[in-house]
């Protein structure tokens, strides 16, 4: 009788332990390994003051030795005794290589002087803002960034491929380079979701160098010089060299403005200057709902040679996502917004491996991306048995819990079996 009671007690204890593990182990995993999506607050609007009127503003010189440079919708300024060549009078030189459309040359006058004074104030404001994130290694390639303030450490080349800025018309992007800012000829800054070039700002502690056919976006404030080293670069924004020179070579600068501009000096009814437009407050971007989980890939497979199918989960309060993909993990060349929990991507390189990653989003923010998944050249068979999606990432540390649960489950079964035999 005592033996039977012993077995009954052991069986009950085993059952209680198993129940405890099944109930509390997932909770432990959830709290010990959080995977919450997050988004940065949209920075306050930036007041460019009179700098908004310039496409190019330099201190010591502006030179343009190669034909083809065009400055659109903004002035060109030099505020001190300086060299100006390759542009129309009052610049000097036998050859005029550059054109200024809808703008004038402000040469060693009060307008240019005020522009540099205002540039100093703008840079002080931008550099005084607290960074939301530091770009790892200073390399911007393949990143998709939402509104925020970003530190950019020094590196050999900051951008050789695509940098995507995702947001709406009011999203503000601020980048603070601790040394030089350097791009390769293949560099591009892309805007998605309605983001505007007029809301992108770069402060550079030293010099900015744009190589070849760089396609760059934003107002660039360099502490020293700005050099377009080879022909074909495009800057949608403005170039400001605070203490040194700007060198153009077959460069196009499109001065960016977020609203319709009236280039007047007054502010009467119906009239706004570009500087006044910069004062308009930016609406606050709503955060993602609390509790959103960084989604993980449930299924990823090749549909045919140049198409893939991807699904993800779990549902945690939103059905709006951003999916990014590229040839290697971290080299995210493309991204697409999706409503729902699956999509098919077409027109990919035939039979080439593709990495994919998914994040929750709203109209102006992208949250934390889930674990990246590789879709190989051979695809994934739909006949392979799969574990159900639990909403948690696979983690090596979970193995001990399953071993303990299995041990107690087996012990319980043995005790029950022996008890019944007796």
Is residue 350 classed exposed, middle or buried when 0-12, 13-18 and 19+ CB atoms within 10 A define those classes? exposed
| pTM confidence score | 0.57
Q: What is the pLDDT of residues 114-147, one digit of tens each?
A: 999 999 999 999 999 999 999 999 999 999 999 9
Does 38 fall in a domain?
Answer: no
Q: State the number of CA atoms in the 13 A half-sphere of 72 facing the CB.
A: 12
Mean pLDDT of 5-34: 52
pLDDT of residue 384: 36
pLDDT grade for 414, boundaries at 50, 70 and 90: low
> How many helices and strands in the chain, by DSSP H and E?
4, 29
pLDDT grade for 282, boundaries at 50, 70 and 90: very low
Mean pLDDT of 311-321: 86
Angle of CA points 124, 47, 125, to nearest 5°: 15
Q: What is the pLDDT of residues 267-281, one digit of tens each?
A: 444 444 444 444 444
Residues 247 and 173 in one domain: yes
Question: For residues 327 and 161, is the Cβ–Cβ distance under 8 A?
Answer: no
Does 283 fall in a domain?
Answer: no
Residues 222 and 108 in one domain: yes
Least Cα distance to 355 among 322, 323, 327 occurs for 327
pLDDT grade for 155, boundaries at 50, 70 and 90: very high
Q: Put residue 391 in one of left, alpha, beta given phi > 0 → left and psi -120 to 50 → alpha.
A: left
Written as six digits, the tokens of 387 are 């574990």
Residues 173 and 298 in one domain: no
20 compared with 93, residue with greater pLDDT: 93
Does an H or E element contain 399, and which? helix 399-421
Give the count of beta carbons closer than 10 Å to the beta carbon of residue 395.
Answer: 10
Residues 351 and 416 in one domain: no
Does 42 fall in a domain?
Answer: no
pLDDT above 60 for 393? no
Question: For residues 238 and 54, is the Cβ–Cβ distance under 8 A?
Answer: yes
Residue identified by tokens 């069986």 is 11
Close Cβ partners of 377 (under 8 Å, ≥ 6 residues apart) = 302, 351, 352, 353
pLDDT above 70 for 177? yes
398 compared with 365, residue with greater pLDDT: 365
Q: What is the CATH number of the domain that holds 294?
A: 2.60.40.10
Q: What total of structural domains would you count in the chain?
A: 3
Residues 227 and 365 in one domain: no
Mean pLDDT of 8-33: 52
pLDDT above 90 for 389? no
Residues 313 and 166 in one domain: no
Annotate 11-26 with b (16+ C-beta within 10 A) or e (fewer).
Answer: beebeebbeebeeebe
pLDDT of residue 310: 93
Q: Is the peptide bond before 90 cis (omega within 30 degrees of 0)?
A: yes
Q: Which domain holds residue 374?
A: 288-392
For residues 265 and 270, what is the distance between their CA atoms, to the nearest angstrom? 13
pLDDT exceeding 90 applies to what percent of the chain? 49
Does 248 fall in a domain?
Answer: yes
Residue identified by tokens 């060549």 is 85
Residues 127 and 263 in one domain: yes
Residues 252 and 386 in one domain: no
Residues 58 and 183 in one domain: yes
Q: What is the pLDDT of residues 58-77, one digit of tens each?
A: 999 999 998 899 999 999 99
Does 36 fall in a domain?
Answer: no
pLDDT above 50 for 383? no
Least Cα distance to 63 among 88, 89, 90, 83 occurs for 83
pLDDT above 50 for 390? no
């Amino acid at each position: 009788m005592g033996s039977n009671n012993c077995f009954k007690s052991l069986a009950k204890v085993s059952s209680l332990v198993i129940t405890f593990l099944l109930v509390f182990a997932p909770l432990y995993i959830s709290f010990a390994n959080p995977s919450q999506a997050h988004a940065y607050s949209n920075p306050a609007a930036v007041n460019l003051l009179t700098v908004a009127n310039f496409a190019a503003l330099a201190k010591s010189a502006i030179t343009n030795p190669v034909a083809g440079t065009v400055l659109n919708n903004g002035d060109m300024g030099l505020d001190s005794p300086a060299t100006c060549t390759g542009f129309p009078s009052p610049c000097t030189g036998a050859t005029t290589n550059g054109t200024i459309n809808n703008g004038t040359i402000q040469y060693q006058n009060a307008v240019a002087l005020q522009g540099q004074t205002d540039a100093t104030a703008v840079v002080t404001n931008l550099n005084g803002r607290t960074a939301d994130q530091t770009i790892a290694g200073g390399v911007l390639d393949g990143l998709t960034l939402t509104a925020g303030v970003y530190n950019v450490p020094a590196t050999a080349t900051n951008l050789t491929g695509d940098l995507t800025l995702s947001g709406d018309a009011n999203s503000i992007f601020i980048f603070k380079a601790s040394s030089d800012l350097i791009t390769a000829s293949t560099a591009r800054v892309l805007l998605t979701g309605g983001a505007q070039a007029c809301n992108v700002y770069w402060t550079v502690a030293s010099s900015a160098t744009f190589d070849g056919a760089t396609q760059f976006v934003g107002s660039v404030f360099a502490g020293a010089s700005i050099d377009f080293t080879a022909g074909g670069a495009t800057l949608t924004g403005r170039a400001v060299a605070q203490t040194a020179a700007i060198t153009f070579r077959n460069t196009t600068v499109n001065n960016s403005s977020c609203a319709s501009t009236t280039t007047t000096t007054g502010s009467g009814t119906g009239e706004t200057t570009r500087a006044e437009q910069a004062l308009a407050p930016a609406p606050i971007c709503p955060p993602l709902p609390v509790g959103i989980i960084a989604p993980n890939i449930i299924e990823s497979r090749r549909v045919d040679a140049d198409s893939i199918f991807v699904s993800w989960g779990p549902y945690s309060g939103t059905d709006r996502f951003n999916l990014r993909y590229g040839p290697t993990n971290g080299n995210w060349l493309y991204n697409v917004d999706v409503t729902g929990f699956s999509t098919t991507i077409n027109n990919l390189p035939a039979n080439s491996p593709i990495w994919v990653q998914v994040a929750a989003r709203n109209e102006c923010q992208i949250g934390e991306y889930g674990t990246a998944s590789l879709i190989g050249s051979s695809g994934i068979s739909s006949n392979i048995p799969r574990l159900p999606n639990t909403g948690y990432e696979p983690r090596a540390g979970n193995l001990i819990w399953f071993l303990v649960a299995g041990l107690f489950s087996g012990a319980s079964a043995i005790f029950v079996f022996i008890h019944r035999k007796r």
